[in-house]
Amino acid sequence: MDFELTAEQQAIRDSIFKLCEKYDDAYWLEHDRSGEFPEDFVKDIADGGWLGIAMPSEYGGSGLGVTEAAIMMQAVAESGAGQSGASAIHMNIFGPNPIVVFGSEEQKKRMLPPLIAGKERACFGVTEPNSGLNTSALQTRAEWNGNQYMVNGRKLWTSTAQTANKILMIVRTGDPDAGGKPADGLSLFYTDFDRDYIEVQEIEKMGRKCVDSNAVFIDDLPVPPEDLIGDEGKGFKYLLHGLNPERVLIAAEAVGLGRVALKRAVEYAKER
């Protein structure tokens, strides 16, 4: 297998390193101490078109694949930004992919361009207090009242909920039929993060402080039917189209972090 980068892939890597040059150790240390979200870094990434690297070109993206996105995210981490820089933009890269694959044309035109341009920020509502990898055990529910869905429940470890104005969330709209799969009855929504109906409580943690992690409490959040992605009850299958490539990106980010750690350890050892 040939692991050499193509000219286009090398250009991606070089461009990201160039963009990240002004965000040095002092920048990330300051933000890690203060907990301030790296808005200017994210704006530069968005202005360069990088948030849409894997999104279709007809909606403002670059139309590239998971390999190119992984190269980009590895370079972000390897630049010294580490998981702070990577996590600040991670959700935008493949998080919206279920919309690309299963959304209607109207939804794609409405939802994708603002994300790609950095005008909107989405958080990811999946994990709950009683469900982590076992997503089918989630308890947040959406009830149809004849006009719209009403969502009630709780999400946990939701990144960027302090500043997000959209949420991609999976909730239960029905229970599995007898003999059905536990994940049946889960539906996927992309909708407004309306703080009139949502309370956000930040979770204190060690490291990566500038990208907030949160507990999210949802109380009678109204969601219009046009914000349902695909068919009701099939959300778990849709969600995997975002989660699976996302895991590739996380692995690439970890490699980038390891590379910069090794590089700096060698540099330090040479000075001893």
* pLDDT tens digits for range 122-134: 999 999 999 888 8
Tokens at 207, concatenated: 């490291």
Q: What is the largest CA-CA distance in the chain?
A: 71
pLDDT tens digits, one per residue of 47-81: 999 999 999 999 999 999 999 999 999 999 999 99
- pTM of structure: 0.92
Taking 80 as the threshold, does the pLDDT of residue 180 lie above it? no
Q: What is the pLDDT of residue 99?
A: 97
Taking 90 as the threshold, does the pLDDT of residue 213 lie above it? yes
Whether residue 158 contacts residue 213, with contact meaning beta carbons closer than 8 Å, is answered with: yes
Taking 70 as the threshold, does the pLDDT of residue 178 lie above it? no
Q: What class, spelled out in words, does domain 7-99+243-271 have in CATH?
A: mainly alpha
Q: What is the mean pLDDT of residues 157-177?
A: 93
Q: Cα separation of 30 and 76, whole Å?
A: 18
Domain ranges of the chain: 7-99+243-271, 121-233
Taking 90 as the threshold, does the pLDDT of residue 210 lie above it? yes
Tokens at 101, concatenated: 């694959």
What confidence category does residue 33 fall into, taking pLDDT thresholds of 50, 70 and 90?
A: very high
Least confident of 28-42, 96-110, 166-180, 225-239: 166-180
Phi, psi of 222 (to 5 degrees): -80, 130
Taking 70 as the threshold, does the pLDDT of residue 179 lie above it? no
Average model confidence (pLDDT) for the chain?
95
Q: What is the mean pLDDT of residues 80-104?
A: 95
More confident: 3 or 167 = 167
pLDDT tens digits, one per residue of 257-269: 999 999 999 999 9
Q: How far apart are the first and last CA of the chain?
A: 39
Report the share of the chain in percent with pLDDT over 70: 99
Q: Burial code of 7-43, b = ≥16 C-beta within 10 A, e = fewer?
A: eebeebbeebeebbeebeeebbeebbeeeebbeebbe
Q: Chain centroid to CA 254: how far?
A: 16
What confidence category does residue 103 fall into, taking pLDDT thresholds of 50, 70 and 90?
A: very high
Say if domain 121-233 classifies as CATH 3.40.50.300: no
- HEC per residue, the chain: CCCCCCHHHHHHHHHHHHHHCCCCHHHHHHHHHHCCCCHHHHHHHHHCCHHHCCCCHHHCCCCCCHHHHHHHHHHHHHHHHHHHHHHHHHHHHHCCHHHHHHCCHHHHHHHHHHHHCCCCCEEEECCECCECCCHHHCCCEEEECCCCEEEEEEEEEEECCCCCCEEEEEEECCCCCCCCCCCCCEEEEEEECCCCCEEEEECCCCCCCCCCEEEEEEEEEEECHHHEECCCCEHHHHHHHHHHHHHHHHHHHHHHHHHHHHHHHHHHHHHC
What confidence category does residue 107 fall into, taking pLDDT thresholds of 50, 70 and 90?
A: very high
